[in-house]
Amino acid sequence: MSDMDAENSEREGGAKLWGGRFTSGGAGTNALMESFNASIRFDRRMWREDIQGSKAYATAISKVGVITPDECEQIQAGLDRVAADWEQDRFDILQSDEDIHTANERKLREYIGQVALKLHTGRSRNDQVSTDMRLWVRQRVAELRGYLVEFIGVCRKRAEEEIDVLMPGYTHLQRAQVVRWSHWVLSFAWPMKRYVEQLDEIAARVNVMSLGSGAIAGNAFGVDREALAEDLGFNGVTENSMDATGDRDFVAEFLMWSSLVMARLSKWAEDLLLFSSKEFNFVAIADQYSTGSSLMPQKKNADSLELIRGKAGRVFGHSCGFLMTLKGLPSTYCKDLQEDKEMLFDGMDTMHAIVQIASGVLATLTVDSEKMSSALSPDMLATDLAYYLVRKGVPFRDAHSLSGSAVALAEKSAIALSSLTVEQLKTISEVFEDDVRSVWNYTSSTEQYSSTGGTSRRAVQEQVDKLAAWLTSPAPR
């Protein structure tokens, strides 16, 4: 078939991959249905993966004699030309290009003629799209992993450099105990490490090839799937063709994982939004991650953090929405699964952007250690006062009560807890002695928490060192 014949056939609707069953003399597919059914506007971004899979499949069917070595060479060369069209932004998408598979095959046919029609032998768009998506996700997950590791590296660096900065720690958004700023920073590094490890597990499940499963029953031409998987860099093949064509667990799992990461980053963003407000002034967000007000010239808004917090809901929505798509489906492939791509693509794009923005915000913000220090108050040492009594033999429950009485006495006297005299404290318990004055030291307060995971200088440095070792360890393959 000449290029012109192929083009005319395309315009008439005769080149659809599924067109043989349908009459061509009637009105054809409803125009709105054509648009409703098509996915080319969003799945075109998988053009590279589709060509990669097709080239490997051409080699596989050549090995079993479905096509000759010369035909395989023609197909490979033709697919290279199709790839060049995409690379150079000159791929002409036609209205009848239903999806990326149809578009690429149509263009291949224009370049090499009838030989292109042999490429799809034994292959279905069901196993083809699943393979394309796995190839696409595999690459993007690897990139995302790098961004997460970068965020952890920024956390480690700041924690080590600012290890002596003290700040109030909060529970219920109320001042609780004295902690190191580094301890707060690292409280987000550790969950991110867990998320990287979870992502590695997801990546391993993604990296299983479904190509060769056909539409439902498998491949009828003896294609060596294990060799094909090795050619495409997969670690293995799917074990059941019915499962393979309808499986989108890897999409659902990625979206659920993304929701978990976003919930954590939303919490992180909320903390920094508070810390950067004038009421706190603990940190200043760099100008490059802030915006201004169209009305109030003095305003500097941390919109980067607000968008991180806001886009968490977007990612949650994709996860919930896709699970609702999956819940009512019968087994194997149904067209409902076309809904996976827009949610997956947007979720992946959102995660890529947000993790990079988060790293940038954290790397460039300025810490005001004096503001943090001035926010410390003696009442935050009430637990230390109870521990003082414990170390003198008082049971903790009694010590807790006695320290609470001291707090009440200070409030009644309108003075700071640390301003209570030994005589006043003795009215609460005779156990108090002159050495109680040693309690009123913020640095000493943090230093008592020296067990693993604590906020003492040594314990925090231990966290930094462990993360440094992990960051330099090789990533799993």
Instruction: Report the predicted TM-score, pTM, of the whole model to 2 decimal places.
Output: 0.91
Residue 405's identity, in one-letter code, is: S
According to DSSP, residue 451 is labeled S
Gap between the Cα atoms of 175 and 376, Å rounded: 8
449 band by pLDDT with thresholds 50, 70 and 90: very high
According to DSSP, residue 66 is labeled S
364 band by pLDDT with thresholds 50, 70 and 90: very high
pLDDT at 29: 67
Give mean pLDDT, residues 391-420: 97
pLDDT at 474: 87
Residue 128's identity, in one-letter code, is: Q
Sign of CA dihedral 94, 95, 96, 99: positive
Please determine, for residue 15, whether its predicted confidence score (pLDDT) is greater than 70.
no
38 band by pLDDT with thresholds 50, 70 and 90: confident
pLDDT digits (tens, 9 = 90+) for 219-261: 999 999 999 999 999 999 999 999 999 999 999 999 999 999 9
For residues 297 and 275, the model is more confident at 275
pLDDT at 343: 96
DSSP string, 355-401: HHHHHHHHHH-EE-HHHHHHT--GGGGHHHHHHHHHTTT--HHHHHH
189 band by pLDDT with thresholds 50, 70 and 90: very high
Please determine, for residue 3, whether its predicted confidence score (pLDDT) is greater than 50.
no
Give mean pLDDT, residues 100-120: 97
Give mean pLDDT, residues 96-119: 96
Q: Residues of the chain with pLDDT > 90: what percent?
A: 88
Gap between the Cα atoms of 184 and 182, Å rounded: 5
CB hemisphere CA count around 357 (13 angstroms):
24
Please determine, for residue 202, whether its predicted confidence score (pLDDT) is greater than 80.
yes
Helix axes 181-206, 125-161, angle to 10 degrees: 160
Q: What domains does the chain contain, in order, with CATH numbers?
A: 3-121 (1.10.275.10), 126-374 (1.20.200.10), 378-471 (1.10.40.30)
Give mean pLDDT, residues 357-365: 98
Give mean pLDDT, residues 84-94: 96
Q: Which residues are catalytic?
A: 172, 293
pLDDT at 5: 43
> Taking phi first (over 0 means left), then psi (-120 to 50 degrees means alpha), and beta for anything else, what does residue 172 get?
left
For residues 96 and 406, the model is more confident at 406
Sign of CA dihedral 434, 435, 436, 439: positive
386 is written with which tokens? Answer: 């109870």
Give mean pLDDT, residues 400-417: 97
19 band by pLDDT with thresholds 50, 70 and 90: low
76 band by pLDDT with thresholds 50, 70 and 90: very high
Sign of CA dihedral 333, 334, 339, 343: negative
Calculate the alpha carbon distances from 432 to 99, 179, 326, 426 in Å.
79, 25, 65, 6
Please determine, for residue 14, whether its predicted confidence score (pLDDT) is greater than 60.
no
Please determine, for residue 6, whether its predicted confidence score (pLDDT) is greater than 80.
no
Hey, is 280 helix, strand or coil? coil
Please determine, for residue 414, whether its predicted confidence score (pLDDT) is greater than 70.
yes
8 band by pLDDT with thresholds 50, 70 and 90: very low
Residue 295's identity, in one-letter code, is: L
Backbone angles phi, psi at 174, to 5 degrees: -115, 145
